[in-house]
Amino acid sequence: MALKQQTSSRDTKSNALDCDLVIVGGGIVGATLASALKDSGLKILIVEANPLEVVASRRQAYALSLLSGRIYEGIGVWQNILPKIAKFRNIRLSDGEYPQIVKFNRTELDTEFLGYVAEHKVVLTALQELIAQCPNITWLCPAKVIEVESQNTFSEIKINLNGTTKTIKTKLIIGADGSRSRIRSLAGIKTRGWKYWQSCVAFTIKHTAPQNDIAFEKFWSTGPMGILPLPGNRCQIVWTHPHAEAKAIQQLNEQEFLEKLNYYTGGLLGEIELISDRAVFPVQLMQCDRYVQSRIALVGDAAHCCHPVGGQGLNLGIRDAAALAQILQQAHQQSEDIGELQVLKRYENWRKRENLTILGFTDFLDRTFSNSFLPIVVIRRFGLWLMNNCQPLKIFALKLMTGLKGRTPQLAQR
Ligand SMILES: Cc1cc2nc3c(=O)[nH]c(=O)nc-3n(C[C@H](O)[C@H](O)[C@H](O)COP(=O)(O)OP(=O)(O)OC[C@H]3O[C@@H](n4cnc5c(N)ncnc54)[C@H](O)[C@@H]3O)c2cc1C
């Protein structure tokens, strides 16, 4: 179903709006956007397909960048998140069994940590609690989007809320509804990209290794393996393999699985115990042709997706949310129409190119390391040597990974 773009006499009724903006999708990115607009004076509705407890209960953990932490500090929710998450001071990159390991330490950026690892529930619950105290933000859930219709000066979104059809009139609709965004498809926004030949197996383990402040990215020719520390001597592991191998790893019996894992982690975690399911996710790279059109904007996975190597996807979405909140708040203060294309373009101009850099960076990492072609192996090992011996290159890579490259949203500067 295509987005209906119409100009009609109904435009004259545009002052009778139900709200200023509707955010479709109450995952971490949608909830971050709403929270970042808590003091904007804008009236916000969040349409979420699932009940709030269900949305918060996803069993996943993410590497959160320094910038994401600063954004949450600016929003005023960090103090409720920080005590419940892991902080790491070191990052180690290695190439199979090759002994040259790139070691990053917090002192190189002069920061207390190099990043954090947070469980989905911790972040989303903190955001939901904050939103519950904001009189300008209302949840509509469980609710599904049926149709979107844009006029010149407003949009209408038809939803099914608890079995009842409801039409909401608003200035702006934001798609924060994930990689299979309905808002994106209703708006007819095209995407570019590709599906990788790999899937990720994601799971949590308990271990006996004493040191738990290192994040590892171990590159194997089958695909990268991210080992992220979690509180309570646990780790979230995201292990990439070609699709069939990922499925086979998921189905191994537990003992065989742990033996294989022990080999691939190099025994660095001591004794290990599997404490979650092994979930398999296919991996894709995707960027929308445009992030905005009149009365529509996309954020997070609705606008772009990348390979999980380096743990960047959610961080990009959090940064989108902070940037869009800033643009909308400024436009509102200057009495501009927040749904107008010229306002929304400021967001697209800011974020689209920055996201593309990270999409390219993660693609480059995956392709060069998931490769046993000898000339590529030689070049990438020289790259690792260079990274260890050329401090400016190391700092550049570190700033890219921690979100400290690019334009900083004002929220993160507070
Ligand atoms: C294995 C794996 C590991 C990862 N690790 C990391 C990491 O370490 N660090 C990192 O930064 N990123 C990581 N990512 C990426 C990260 O998971 C995503 O980028 C992030 O979850 C996207 O958040 P989102 O809020 O945009 O979308 P989603 O989390 O998909 O949320 C979308 C929300 O919209 C709702 N919704 C969907 N359709 C509708 C509709 N029609 N109407 C109403 N509501 C709707 C859904 O219920 C959901 O609540 C990883 C991804 C994978 C697969």
Q: Read off the pLDDT of residues 228-247 as tens digits, 9 standing for 90 and up.
A: 999 999 999 999 999 999 99
Measured distance between the N- and C-terminal CA atoms of the chain, rounded to whole angstroms: 43
Nearest CA owner, ligand 1 atom 4: 308
Q: What percent of the chain has pLDDT over 70?
A: 96
- Cβ(202) – ligand 1 distance below 6 Å: yes
> Looking at residue 237, which CATH number applies to its domain?
3.30.9.10
Structural domain includes residue 97: no
Same structural domain, 207 and 222: yes
Task: Name which of 192, 190, 388 is nearest 293 in CA terms.
Answer: 190
Check the CA dihedral 281-55-351-158 and report its sign.
positive
Q: Which residue type does 175 have?
A: G
Quote the ligand 1 centre to 349 CA distance (angstroms).
23
Same structural domain, 219 and 269: yes
Same structural domain, 144 and 70: yes
Q: Which residue type does 205 have?
A: I
> Looking at residue 407, which CATH number applies to its domain?
3.50.50.60
Place of tokens 């509804």: 177
Q: What is the mean pLDDT of residues 89-98?
A: 94
Residue 57: per-residue pLDDT:
96
Residues of 138-154 as b/e, b for ≥16 C-beta within 10 angstroms?
A: ebbbbbebeebbbbebb
Quote the ligand 1 centre to 12 CA distance (angstroms).
38
Spell out where 36-190 has E strands. 44-47, 61-64, 86-88, 90-95, 102-105, 115-119, 137-140, 143-150, 155-161, 164-175
Structural domain includes residue 101: no
Same structural domain, 184 and 123: yes
Structural domain includes residue 162: yes
- Cβ(176) – ligand 1 distance below 6 Å: yes
The domain boundary, picked from 261, 282, 303, lies at 282
- Cβ(303) – ligand 1 distance below 6 Å: no
Q: In 3-state terms, what secondary structure has residue 55?
A: helix
Structural domain includes residue 93: no
pLDDT digits (tens, 9 = 90+) for 363-414: 999 999 988 899 999 999 999 999 999 999 999 999 999 999 999 999 999 7
Nearest CA owner, ligand 1 atom 52: 308
C-alpha–C-alpha distance, residues 23 and 137, integer Å: 10
* Sequence-ordered alpha helix ranges (H) in 173-312: 182-186, 243-251, 254-265
Same structural domain, 213 and 68: no
Quote the ligand 1 centre to 200 CA distance (angstroms).
15
Quote the ligand 1 centre to 175 CA distance (angstroms).
12
Structural domain includes residue 100: no
Structural domain includes residue 29: yes
Give the domain extent around 256: 197-282
Same structural domain, 133 and 143: yes
Same structural domain, 141 and 251: no
Residue 16: per-residue pLDDT:
86
Quote the ligand 1 centre to 181 CA distance (angstroms).
11
The domain boundary, picked from 232, 258, 282, lies at 282
Quote the ligand 1 centre to 28 CA distance (angstroms).
7
C-alpha–C-alpha distance, residues 204 and 58, integer Å: 13
C-alpha–C-alpha distance, residues 307 and 173, integer Å: 27
Same structural domain, 268 and 345: no
- Cβ(239) – ligand 1 distance below 6 Å: no
Same structural domain, 297 and 234: no
Nearest CA owner, ligand 1 atom 53: 281
Residues of 378-407 as b/e, b for ≥16 C-beta within 10 angstroms?
A: eebeebbeebbeeeeebeebbbbbbbbbbe
Same structural domain, 245 and 184: no
- Cβ(139) – ligand 1 distance below 6 Å: no
Q: What is the mean pLDDT of residues 8-20?
A: 60
Same structural domain, 222 and 171: no
Q: How many domains does the chain have?
A: 2
Same structural domain, 47 and 172: yes
